[in-house]
Amino acid sequence: MDSIVIEGGHPLNGEIQISGAKNSAIKLQAVCLLTDKKIVLKNMPRLRDTRFMGQLLAHMGVEVEEGPGPQMSLHAKSLSSTTAPYDLVRKMRATFNVLGPLLARTGKAKVSLPGGCAIGARPVDLHLKAIEALGAHITLDEGYVIADAKDGLRGAEITFPFISVGATEHSILTAVLAKGTTVLSNVAREPEIVDLAECLNAMGAKISGAGRSEIEIEGVKSLGGVTHNVVPDRIEAGTYALAAATAGGKVTLTNLRHDHLGSLWPLIAQAGANVELKKDRVIISRNGDGLRAVDMETQAYPGFPTDLQAQFMAMMTLADGVSIIRENIFENRFMHCPELSRMGANITVTGREAIVRGVKSLRGAPVMATDLRASASLINAGLAAKGSTTVGRVYHLDRGFEHIEIKLGQCGAKIKRVSE
Ligand code: EPZ
């Protein structure tokens, strides 16, 4: 199994080009099930998760072609299977999102329940309630959701009891071909949802309100093909911005939408790094000045993203003062704390809050994390720490960060991938 080894204590200097967003790309891949025309996704990140989704779609008879460059073509001329087996769904929860498109296209689907994961129980009850409201009949059997909509799906008014990114996206994917109008209220407003709606609208869907709390979908009879650019990955961008602020130096980020990280920039600036927002780039620099403690809590977009909480905490371990970090989205997303503590951080976790008392320096250590973003926080901590850090279980990083060691290496980080 691969590890990443970092000799810390070197500032980062250089430019990093941000890839397309993983969390948009994997939902956009599912879009291909809604049409017999070809869809081409450009600015497509090359990641384990997009490959998993490609494998599942290929299992269903979709022609999947990677390249040239950051591009993936998907063509579901006809489907050979409407089952998403456990072995493919357990590798990545978001594969569950094929349920709605399969139902919309064929009137039936059998999809394994995804199960819990390291950051929490993560049920899919809101997804299922919405799909039922759209006219599907759902039964659960031996870990599978079996859904049918023999008489077709029909529009519905659905109000979510709380905000869910996945349930919002899944409802859109299910409702675009339903008969009549669907109104989704109290929905997630993430840029990835806007990206999904823009792609579907370019195919002929009639979705309005994406990016706001209420979305209206007028069902259409069929969808055409499309060539669509995946939105830049705001979490990848935020991770490298925090890496530069944590380790020091000057890093320019390109191919990003800085307006998608409006909750992050003021906090990085308050913590003592310099943030320059330009039209097509962001420059983060910190040279010599110490970091200051800042409190933070995660919230649904446009609030501070839970997917940057661990990386923000890595920065706060070195700040002057005490930072209180509250995780409001997932119940178990502090697994990076014991690992950061092994590097010398002073963190106390009580329920949903972590109290981070800044220390003068971190020291390298062998560490490993149980999820993607936690692994990224250990990389950021390793870049700033004195000595050598070995981050194990690199497959987590490969799920969501394209060439992390190359991108950071180009900025002068002493970082390498080691195969055992
Ligand atoms: C998406 O997960 C992202 N994943 C997550 O990124 C991200 O952390 C999360 O949104 C929040 O921004 C993908 O896009 C693939 P939710 P999702 O539904 O859709 C509860 C990463 O590292 N809930 O908004 O699963 C749920 O348990 C990942 O890239 C229900 O109770 O998130 C959670 O506590 C990790 N019932 C909360 O809602 C449901 O039916 C928000 O989850 C659905 C969700």
Note the pLDDT tens digit of each residue in 117-146. Answer: 777 778 899 999 999 999 999 999 999 999
Hunting for tokens 């999820």 — which residue is that?
371
Q: Which atom of ligand 1 is nearest to the CA of 93?
A: 15
Which position has the token pair 């979709």?
62
Which atom of ligand 1 has the smallest separation from the CA of 162?
38
CB of 362 shorter than 6 A to ligand 1: no
The finding on whether 165 has its CB within 6 A of some atom of ligand 1 is yes
Q: Is there an atom of ligand 1 within 6 Å of 373 CB? A: yes
Catalytic one of 117, 199, 337, 411: 117
Q: Which helix (H) or strand (E) holds 353?
A: strand 353-357
Question: What is the rounded average pLDDT of the residues 265-276?
Answer: 98
Q: Comparing C-alpha atoms, which of 155, 183, 143, 190 is closest to residue 169? A: 190
Q: Is 352 in the pocket of ligand 1 (CB under 6 A)?
A: no
Q: Are the C-beta atoms of residues 133 and 92 closer than 8 Å to each other?
A: no
Closest residue CA from atom 9 of ligand 1: 165
Phi, psi of 111 (to 5 degrees): -130, 130
Q: Is there an atom of ligand 1 within 6 Å of 94 CB?
A: yes
Numbers of helices and strands, H then E, in the chain: 14, 26
pTM: 0.98
- How many angstroms separate the alpha carbon of residue 14 from the centre of ligand 1? 33
Domains of the chain: 2-19+232-419 (3.65.10.10), 22-229 (3.65.10.10)
Q: How far is CA 15 from the centre of its chain?
A: 22
What would you report as the CA-atom Rg of the chain, rounded to the nearest whole angstrom? 21
| Residue ID of nearest Cα to ligand 1 atom 3 | 23
pLDDT of 314: 98
> What's the mean pLDDT when you consider all of the chain?
96
117 catalytically annotated: yes
Q: Which of 104, 89, 85 is nearest to 148 (CA)?
A: 104
What is the side-by-side strand order in the sheet with 249-254? 12-17, 249-254, 281-286, 274-277
Ligand 1 centre and the CA of 77: distance in Å?
Answer: 31
Position with higher pLDDT, 205 vs 369: 205
| Pick from 249, 309, 271, 266: nearest CA to 15 | 249
Atom of ligand 1 nearest to the CA of 300: 12
* Residue whose CA is at the smallest distance from ligand 1 atom 19: 166
Q: Which of 164, 187, 399 to mutate to test the pocket of ligand 1 (most atoms within 8 A of CB)?
A: 164
What sections of 253-308 are H helices per DSSP? 265-270
The H or E element spanning position 289 is: none
Cα 181–chain centre separation: 29
Residues above pLDDT 90, as percent of the chain: 91
Phi, psi of 77 (to 5 degrees): -55, -50
Q: Kindly provide the residue ranges of all beta strands, DSSP E only, lying in 81-192, ordered along the sequence.
A: 83-84, 108-112, 137-141, 144-148, 157-159, 181-185
The span from the first CA to the last CA of the chain, in angstroms, equals: 6
209 CB neighbour count, 10 Å cutoff:
17
> For residue 165, how far is its CA from the centre of ligand 1 (angstroms)?
6
Question: Residue 290 carries which DSSP code?
Answer: P
For helices 125-133 and 99-106, angle between their N-to-C axes, nearest 10 degrees = 20
Burial 376-409 (b: 16+ CB within 10 A, else e): bbbbbbbbbbeeebbbbbbebbbbbbbebbebbe
- What per-residue confidence (pLDDT) applies to 116? 65
Q: Give the closest residue (by CA) to ligand 1 atom 39.
A: 124
What are the structure tokens assigned to 166, written together? 């996945």
Specify the residue with its C-alpha closest to ligand 1, atom 17: 166
Provide the pLDDT for residue 190. 98
Please state the rounded mean pLDDT for residues 399-407.
95
The 10s digit of each residue's pLDDT in 39-92 is: 999 999 999 999 999 999 999 999 999 999 999 999 999 999 999 999 988 888
224 lines ligand 1 (CB under 6 A): no
Per-residue pLDDT reduced to its tens digit, 316-357: 999 999 999 999 999 989 999 999 999 999 999 999 999 999
- Provide the pLDDT for residue 120: 72
Across 5-14, 314-323, 364-373, least confident range = 364-373
Tell me which DSSP letter residue 415 carries.
E
